[in-house]
Amino acid sequence: MTLLAQLQLTDSAFPGGLYTLSHGLEAYTQAGPVDVGALLEDVLLHAAGPGDATALVLIHRAVTAGDWDAVVETDRRLHAIKLNREIRAAATRTGNQVLRTATLVFATPELARLTELVETGTTPGNHAVVLGAAYAGLGVPVDDAVIGDLYAFAASWVSAAVRLGRLDFRRAQATLYGAGGAIGLAAAHALAARGPLDLHAATPVADAMSAVHERAEARLFTT
């Protein structure tokens, strides 16, 4: 049952609005030619790994230990390291929506507690935080949870690349499978985190691209 619940949460059909995000890819494609596979690896290693994946691991541990102060601290710091408005808005919009559906579907006390904290404005409820709490409550082991979530991110990335016309549907699947090494490294990095201070992101080009995207005249994606 644990595996089934994890599959359901990582499935792109689980409603959370992920299809509205290109995770920065659209801005790069508007700026010029881009190697989608290489960029995906960079994003996994330098943004998703030390950011969302690390937060997911820290939240999983904190929720398992019942340390809700650590949950709030991690969520707030994750929010703070997301520099662009559109990135922060997307992370909390998708997170809050997944929280609502997951709380109804899985009905775990951990998700109910997180809902309380989000509704009172105590914590922002970022996407990675909601998933960390969901997986912890469902008993999904932390290493499976982080690998699965990074896979879901990469799958969402290549899906955006198809819609942006940068990969055909077969190349997209080959790119996704080819990202396995980077997913493993990003997961290992996240699992090595000791506390919220290990959350970081140093992606100046991506941040500048995202800033340009916020004001783009035409765009298909929210991020």
Binding site for another protein (CB under 8 A): 13, 15-17, 19-22, 93-94, 96-98, 100-101, 104, 160, 163, 217-222
Burial string for 68-94 (b: 16+ CB within 10 Å, else e) reads bebbbbbbebbbebbebebbbebbbbb
Nearer to another protein, 74 or 96 (CB): 96
Which C-beta is closer to another protein: that of 73 or that of 86? 86
Residue whose CB is less far from another protein, 67 or 168: 168
CB of 94 to another protein, least distance (A): 8
Q: Which is nearer to another protein, 21 or 147 (CB)?
A: 21
Minimum Å gap between C-beta 121 and another protein is 11
* Number of other residues whose CB lies within 10 A of the CB of residue 185: 15
Cα distance between residue 45 and residue 184, in whole Å = 10
d(CA 37, CA 131): 25
Q: How far is the CB of 19 from another protein (least distance, A)?
A: 5
Least Å from the CB of residue 71 to another protein: 22
Q: Which of 157, 148, 124, 122 is nearest to 56 (CA)?
A: 148
Nearer to another protein (CB atom), residue 57 or residue 164 = 164
Please report the DSSP string for 117-174 in residue order: HHHTTSS---HHHHHHHHHHHHT--HHHHHHHHHHHHHHHHHHHHHHTTSS-HHHHHH
Find the shortest distance in angstroms from Cβ 127 to another protein: 12
